[in-house]
Chains A and B, each alone.
Chain A
Amino acid sequence: MQFLIYRYDPQSGARPHMQAYDLAPGHGEHMLLDALIRLHEQDDSLAFRRSCREGVCGSDAMNINGRNGLACVTPLASLKEPVTLRPLPSFPVIRDLVVDMTRFFRHYHAIRPYVVDDDPPPERERLQTPAERAELDGLYECILCACCTGFCPSYWWNPERYLGPAALLQAMRFIADSRDHATGERLEFLDDAYRLFRCRSIMNCTEVCPKGLNPNRAIDRIRMRMLKHEV
């Protein structure tokens, strides 16, 4: 298989360039990550992140033939050659396919990704009804891989002020949580022309989510909650 991979070495001082590789996938090597690991055996200067290799950790997000995805859950058979791999669009590149996620996680922390409840802790768990728990479906599964945020044109042009689809989906996850007592504060924080309302419902986020989630729908739900909160 032919591969074209974005290479950047900060120490060399050279500009990023595309490097061609040729590889015959071995027996049992079905996924793009398998091929990358084999390529790394050939050329140990090639840098990429990976950990769980099964779509749970979200480490190996990259731009694959022009669309963001996780290398570990992308079958080689689904890819046109040359398989072109680039880092997540708009993220600062540390080296090759490894990007700087600092700002992404800063936005994540800004939405306070934890249940806020200042009441004294109960003796047992804070219980939810099955219906309350079901409100979290489609939200809690996010693995923070940044495929969505790295494919969002609103984020490309406003990465400092717009929180991006991943952080907003997580924001909805805690707004929807029956155990959380900070819904009003959360909605007031998000009620901003950039933080939330820079979303233009392009739905690139939903197109590329490797977990099949719909961050755009989560953003719509926040807007609806905001409307109800203010009326």
Chain B
Amino acid sequence: MNARSDAPRFLNLFQIRFPVGAICSIGHRVSGVILAAAVPLVVYALDRSLAGPQAYARLAAALATAAGKTAVVVLAWALAHHALAGIRHVLKDVDVGASLGTARRSAWLVLAVGGIIALATAVLVA
């Protein structure tokens, strides 16, 4: 017996218990979106920083605000997590860490190191 095309489907992501690998993967996506969206802002910031002492000072002042510091920390996390999760995938593609136990440990490691780098950045810019 086939279900009707309007049959319900259970797919509430808040009611699904995700393994650590899935959380690492969601982080990979989110960090990728953040990095892509931040490219124009970062290019603009680089341009301003090279435009002269006054523009540089204005940029430094903007980055010293709470919003500026938050953006720097978020970007640092996104860059660290995305790069580390990417390396994890590349290693897996050449058959390093493809077993479930190793994949779980490497996912934890990516989450932890990404978090530590974000925390260190927060301490540096505080």
A binds B: yes
Q: Give chain A's interface residues, CB within 8 Å of chain B.
A: 6, 8, 10, 15-16, 63, 65-67, 84, 86-94, 99-100, 102, 151, 153, 156, 200-204, 206-207, 214, 216-217, 220, 223-224
Q: Which residues of chain B (1-27) have a CB below 8 Å from chain A? A: 1-5, 7-11, 15-19, 21-22, 25
Distance in Å from the Cβ of A18 to the closest Cβ of chain B?
A: 10
Q: A16-B10, A220-B93 are in contact. Are A89 and B16 (CB under 8 A)?
A: yes
Q: Which residues of B lie under 8 Å from residue A100 when comparing CB positions?
A: 1-3, 7
B15 and chain A: residue at smallest CB distance: A66
Having A92-B3, A207-B19, one finds 15 other A-B pairs with CB under 8 Å, namely A10-B3, A16-B10, A63-B10, A86-B10, A86-B15, A87-B10, A89-B10, A90-B9, A92-B7, A100-B3, A151-B16, A203-B19, A204-B19, A204-B21, A207-B21
**From residue B110, how far is it (CB to closest CB) to chain A in Å?**
13
Contact A6 B10 (CB under 8 A): yes
Counting CB contacts under 8 A, is B48 at the interface?
A: no
Q: Tell me which residues across on chain B come within 8 A of A66, comparing CB atoms.
A: 15-17
Using a CB–CB cutoff of 8 Å, the interface residues on chain B facing chain A are 1-5, 7-11, 15-19, 21-22, 25, 89, 92-93, 95, 98-100, 103
Residues of B within 8 A of A200 (CB): 25
